[in-house]
Amino acid sequence: MKNIPKKSIFIITFTISIILLIYLCNIVYTTFLNKLYMENYYQNNNVFCINKIVLFSSANASSTINSNNTTTISNLYQYTDIAIFIDNYSSNYTLENTLKSVSIENVSINRAPKVGSTSLYYKNLNDFSTPNFSIENKFEKNLNFNISSEDSIDFSTPTLYNNCANPITISYINSNLIDSYTINNESQISYDGSLLKDCNIILNDLQCSFSFYIIIENNLGHKYRCPVNIDIPLSQENASIYDGTLTYTYYPNYKFYLYTN
C-alpha cells in the first residue's frame, strides 16, 4: 500500500478547513441577518406604545379638634395618582398584540423632594383620585402585574387585562411632611391639597421626579421595553395643588422597543 504524500494530506485538510469555515461563516452571517431583520421589523412596526398619562395630585392628613377652636394637623402627606395607558394599535387581538406579562422595573428617584419621605404603591383603579391606598401594595424597585382575560377582574391587586383595556395605575406618596401643625378654625378645613398651604408647605420643596422601565412580554414570547419619566405636577400656569387638587394629562406616544435581557 502506497503512502499518501504529505503534500496531498495538507491540501485535503486545508480544503476541508476552508469548506467548514465558509459553512460556519454562512451560518453566522445568516443568523446575523435574521436578527437584524427581526430587530428592524419590530423597531419599525411598533406593537405597543404609551399614548396617554394622567396624573392627579392632592393631599390628606389626620386631625384632632382642640377645645380652643383650633385643629391640629398630623400625618400630612401629598399624593399623586398616576394612570399610564398602553395602546396596542388594534381592536383585533392576536398573540402579538396581547399581554403575557407586564412589569415595572428599575425605579429610580431622579430628583428627591426636600421634605418628607417618598414611597410608591400600586393603586386600585376604583380608588384613583382618592387618598385611599393599601400598605400591602407598596413597592420599591419593581412591580409585577397579573394578566387576565376574564370579563371582570379584582383591581385590589396589580392586574391588567391582556388586551390593554385598563391602564397601569400607581400612586406616589410623600409622607411625614410635618410632625404636627395647629391651625385656627376660622374657616372650614378641606382635606385636600389646600392643607399644604394651610400648613405652610412650600411647593418647591415637594418637587420630585422619578423614572422606570415598563417591560412587556406578548404571547409570542417577544419582550418590549419603554422608559418612563414622571414629574410630579404641583402647579400649572393658572392652578396649583393649593387649590385642592391638580390634574394633568398628556399624550407622549412613548414607543416600546424590542428588548433582550
pLDDT tens readout for residues 5-27: 655 666 667 677 777 777 777 77
Give the C-alpha separation, 115 to 77, whole Å: 11
Give the C-alpha separation, 231 to 109, whole Å: 10
Query: How, if at all, do strands 99-111 and 70-87 pair?
Result: unpaired
Average pLDDT for 63-80: 92
Q: What percent of the chain has pLDDT over 70?
A: 88
Please calculate the CA angle 11-13-18 and round it to the nearest 5 degrees. 95
pLDDT at 141 over 60: yes
- This prediction has a pTM of 0.83
For 183, the grid coordinates are 391651625
Q: Give tens-digit pLDDT for 27-66.
A: 766 665 555 545 555 455 689 999 999 999 999 999 998 9
Q: Which helix (H) or strand (E) holds 77?
A: strand 70-87
How many CB atoms sit inside 10 A of residue 80's CB? Answer: 24
Write the secondary structure of 219-251 as one string of H (helix), E (strand) and C (coil): CCCCEEEEEEEEECCCECCCCEHHHCCEEEEEC
- At residue 91, the pLDDT reads 83
Handedness of CA 83, 88, 91, 94 (dihedral sign): negative
DSSP letters spanning 127-161: GTTSS---GGGEESS-EEEEEE-SSS--TTSSEEE
Give the C-alpha separation, 28 to 122, whole Å: 45
Nearest Cα residue to 260 out of 84, 38, 86: 38
Give the C-alpha separation, 156 to 29, whole Å: 50
Instruction: Name 122's bridge partners.
Output: 170
For 22, the grid coordinates are 465558509
Average pLDDT for 153-170: 96
Q: Give tens-digit pLDDT for 239-250.
A: 999 999 999 999
Give the C-alpha separation, 104 to 228, whole Å: 10
How many CB atoms sit inside 10 A of residue 225's CB? Answer: 15
